[in-house]
Structure 1
Amino acid sequence: AAFLAMRDLADRYSEGRWLAVGGGGYGLVRVVPRAWTHLIAAALDREVDVDTAVPDEWKESTKLRAPSVDLPPTMGDGGDVAYTPWDGPGGTPETGVASVDRALTRIDSAIIATRRASFPLLGLDPEDPRD
């Protein structure tokens, strides 16, 4: 979902241009190759189904270099990959669960407080939804 959001942002704000960077080094064998495959696919306006089997050739090659790593069978981990674009500020949705609604309100308050404290330092308007 994050890569689809980045693709939409690139299309909207930079004529489809991307700047892709890596970091962290986490899951070097299990995560990074699959994540970059999905990122490159999104940048090319394609999708790799998360249920697609990891190619046997890659698994064989990787087993030679990292024999102790339990390799994933598919290009996903079974999590939710749905992407819903954000339409901008519109208030906190009510869930009908009082504790959740209170938590969402506190989160929104923390976000606007952070924007008001930090955005002016960067020359941005904390009240402008485009920033």
Structure 2
Amino acid sequence: MSEWKKICLVDEIPVLGSRRVARAQGMDVAVFRNDQDQVFAVLDRCPHKGGPLSQGIVFGTSVACPLHNWTIDLEGGCAKAPDEGCVQKFSVRVESGAVHLDAGELATLAIDLSPPIAGPKLLSPLPLGEG
């Protein structure tokens, strides 16, 4: 039996938008709402180059990645052809206007992934006065 964690109210997610849910381990989860008040949850990482899906444009039951415009199906979590790849999907339950995610999934699914690092990566620190 699943334990459900209340995340927010449906009305707190913008229509055709999203909210991010931070986790103790792993990347954030993006929770989306379409214009039919359907709610979906996937890992906030495009399978292509790791773009933040929570910043994408929602249309129907899909979201367009803001980096390279890949279309991700929010019901199944996979990219639409001709693109290939899938993102981790999370179970959602809406009850009395509240959005709930499966607590077990939040604690265990895709916890080994970390957000992409933006900008140049420092390989080793330079001693003061050098460089």
TM over 0.5: no
More strand by share: 2
Report 1 or 2 for greater relative contact order, CA contacts < 8 Å, sequence distance ≥ 6.
Answer: 2
Which structure has the greater CA radius of gyration? 1
TM tier, shorter chain? under 0.3
More helix by share: 1
Q: What TM-score comes out, normalization by structure 2 length?
A: 0.24
